[in-house]
A = this chain, B = another copy of it.
Amino acid sequence: MAEEALFQFLHHELVQYIYKTSENGDVENGRNITKLENLGFRVGQGLIERLTKDTARFKDELDVMKFICKDFWTCVFKKQIDNLRTNHQGIYVLQDNKFRLLSQLSAGKQYLDLAPKYLAFTCGLVRGGLSNLGVKSIVTAEVSVMPACKFQVMIQKM
């Protein structure tokens, strides 16, 4: 419980720090999202190396995605992804019904605008993890009802 909190607090401070040190405005907001995404990317790269140190080789792309939904997600958020869907053409949707980094925000609609800055790091995290498993992707996130969250992964064929 408290160990999970360490990550949550640190993530929160990171978001605050990046936003505090930047100017206001939409352009700047976009830049901050990118910064958080890049930070998450590098953490994801490191983390997946540790996690897959002793795992068997993955069979295919779906196998990789399942690993992200189970082991990777559990390591970071102490729970698995609740639902994984795919169109079998390189698009995957990972749904977390109680996304930890949003669970401290009020669940009403009035804070929906604030959600993206709490999702960028995790988008990067997933992209970084996939990247080090040889899967190039674009990861975006979407919230309709807090604290549920959908991450969409679009695999980039190389």
Contact = CB atoms under 8 A, between A and B. Distances in A.
A42 interface: yes
Contacts of A13: 39, 42-43
| Interface range for A | 20 to 34
A35 interface: yes
Nearest to A35: B17
A9 interface: yes
- Pick from A1, A7, A14 the residue with the most CB of B within 10 Å: A14
Interface stretch (A44-52, A56-64, A85-93, A139-147): A44-52
Nearest to A11: B10
A99 to B, nearest CB: 16
Interface of A: 1-3, 5-7, 9-11, 13-14, 17-18, 21, 35, 39, 42-43, 46-47, 50-51, 75-76
